[in-house]
Structure 1
Amino acid sequence: MKKDSHIDTELVIAYQAGDQKAMAKLVQRWHLIYCKKAYWLVKDTSLSKDIAQDCWQTIMDKLHTLQNPSSFKSWSLRIVYSKSLDALRERSRKHSKETEFDKSHLSFVEDDKENIDLKASLLKAIKRLPEQQQIVLRLFYTEDYSLKEISELLSISVGTTKSRLFHAREKLKLILKPIIGKT
C-alpha cells in the first residue's frame, strides 16, 4: 500500500471532483484494512465490520474537506481508530470496564507450564493498566508501530506516547515483581 499511495491521492482527487466510481475503488482498496484495524481494537468481528461501514459513511461525508489528498491513509485510519474507541467506550458502559487482550498476541512465550502461568500473570497485569496505556503497548509491541506513528494515529504528541509507554512498563514491573521474584 505504501508504494501505491499515489493511487489513493488520485482517487481522492477524482472523488472530490465528483467521480463516484473513485469512492468504490477506495472502498475496494481499504475496506478489509479498516475491518482488520477495527477488529484489532474491539476484538469483535461483527462490530468491526459495523465500524468499518460507519467509517465509510463518515469518509464519504467529509472527504471533500480533506485538503491534502495524499494524507488520506492517516486521515482515514484516524477515523477508524476513533470510531473503534467510541465502540469500546460504549461497550464498556454497557458491560464492565474490563478490556480483553487476545492471548494469541503473546506468542513470544513458550507454552510450558511455568511460562503459561507467567503469560496469564502478564495478561492480568496488562488488564490492570489504564486503557490508554494498554493501547500504546499493543500498538508498539504487537503491531510494531513506531512512536511517531502511534502519536499520529492517536492524535497525541510523541512525548505523550513515550510517557504512556514508559509508565505502562513501570507499572507492569511493579505489578509483576512479586510474581517474577517467585519463579
Structure 2
Amino acid sequence: MNKKSILSDKILIENYQKGDKKMISLLVEKWHIPFCKLAFWIVKDADIAKDVAQESWTIILKKLPTLKESEKFKSWAISIVNRKAIDFIRAKNREHLKLEKLYFESEKAALISEKIEDNSLHKKLLKSIEKLSTEHQMVVRLFYKESYSLKEISDILKISVGTTKSRLFHARERLKTILKDINYER
C-alpha cells in the first residue's frame, strides 16, 4: 500500500474531524472514481455504479466524524461500497441471483503480470476466472489486480486472514484444474 496515500487520507480525515469541512471535497475527489469502478465491477452498469458510489458516500460521510483509525479509511470505505453494490444486486434479483453468477470484468482484469505469452492465453485465463465463484473471483481480483495484502483483503471482505488465504489457495487450485482441462499447463 502506498504510504503517501495513507498519510494523505489520514491528514484529510483528521483535519475534517477537527472542523475543516473543505477536506471532504478533497477526499471525495480522490476516491469517487475508484469507488465507481469498484461498484461497476460488481453491478455491471455505469449509471447504477454511480448511484451505488453516491449511496456509499452518504454512509461514509455520516460515519466519518467518528472514524477512529483514519489510516484504515481505504479498506473501511471500500468495504462499504462493496456491501452496497452487493445489496443492490441482491435487491434487484432476490429470487434468481446466485452470487456465483457475477462475472469478472474481463476487459479490466490483468491477473497475470508481464509474463502472458499471448492474447489467446490471456483470454483463456479470463474465461477460467469467470468460472470461479464470486468469493474466489473477488479475492483473486483484490490480490492480483488491486495488489492488496491478505490482511487488507480480509478487512475489505470482513473475513479472517485465514479464510482469505484459503479462498486464494482454492481459487488458484481451481484455475490450475480449469486450465489443465483446456490443455494449458505451465
* Band the TM-score falls in, shorter-chain normalisation: 0.7 to 0.9
Q: Percent identity at matched positions?
A: 48
Residues 38 and 80 of structure 1 are in contact (CA less than 8 Å); yes or no, is this contact kept in structure 2? yes
Moved more, 99-108 or 70-79: 99-108
The answer to whether structure 1 residue 110 and structure 2 residue 115 are counterparts is no
Q: What TM-score does the superposition give when structure 2 sets the normalisation length? A: 0.76
For structure 2, list consecutive stretches of 5 or more residues without a partner in the other structure: none
Aligned-pair distance for 1:40?
Answer: 3.3
Instruction: Map 1:40-51 to 2 at 5 A.
Output: 40-51=41-52
Question: Per the alignment, in what secondary structure is the counterpart of residue 170 of structure 1?
Answer: helix
Write the distance in 1 (CA, Å) between the matches of 2:67 and 2:18: 12
Moved more, 129-138 or 88-97: 88-97
Q: Pairwise CA RMSD of aligned residues?
A: 2.9
1:167 aligns with: 170
Write the distance in 1 (CA, Å) between the matches of 2:96 and 2:126: 20
Question: Per the alignment, in what secondary structure is the counterpart of residue 152 of structure 2?
Answer: helix
2:134 aligns with: 131
Aligned-pair distance for 1:76?
Answer: 1.6
More helix by share: 1
Aligned-pair distance for 1:5?
Answer: 3.3
Write the distance in 1 (CA, Å) between the matches of 2:5 and 2:171: 36
- Opposite residue 72 of structure 1, the aligned amino acid is F
The answer to whether structure 1 residue 9 and structure 2 residue 5 are counterparts is no
Instruction: Map 1:16-55 to 2 at 5 A.
Output: 16-55=17-56
Residues 35 and 53 of structure 2 are in contact (CA less than 8 Å); yes or no, is this contact kept in structure 1? yes
Residues 104 and 137 of structure 2 are in contact (CA less than 8 Å); yes or no, is this contact kept in structure 1? no
**Runs in 1 of length 4+ with deviation above 6 angstroms?**
none
Write the distance in 2 (CA, Å) between the matches of 1:59 and 1:88: 20
Aligned-pair distance for 1:63?
Answer: 1.2
For structure 1, list consecutive stretches of 5 or more residues without a partner in the other structure: none
Residues 41 and 105 of structure 2 are in contact (CA less than 8 Å); yes or no, is this contact kept in structure 1? no
Aligned-pair distance for 1:124?
Answer: 4.5
Residues 6 and 70 of structure 1 are in contact (CA less than 8 Å); yes or no, is this contact kept in structure 2? yes
Question: Per the alignment, in what secondary structure is the counterpart of residue 4 of structure 2?
Answer: coil
Residues 8 and 72 of structure 1 are in contact (CA less than 8 Å); yes or no, is this contact kept in structure 2? yes
**When the two structures are aligned, how many residues end up with a matched partner?**
177
Relative distance call for 1:143 and 1:82 in structure 2 (3 A) is same
Question: Per the alignment, in what secondary structure is the counterpart of residue 93 of structure 1?
Answer: coil
Aligned-pair distance for 1:151?
Answer: 1.8
The answer to whether structure 1 residue 119 and structure 2 residue 123 are counterparts is yes
Larger radius of gyration between Structure 1 and Structure 2: 1
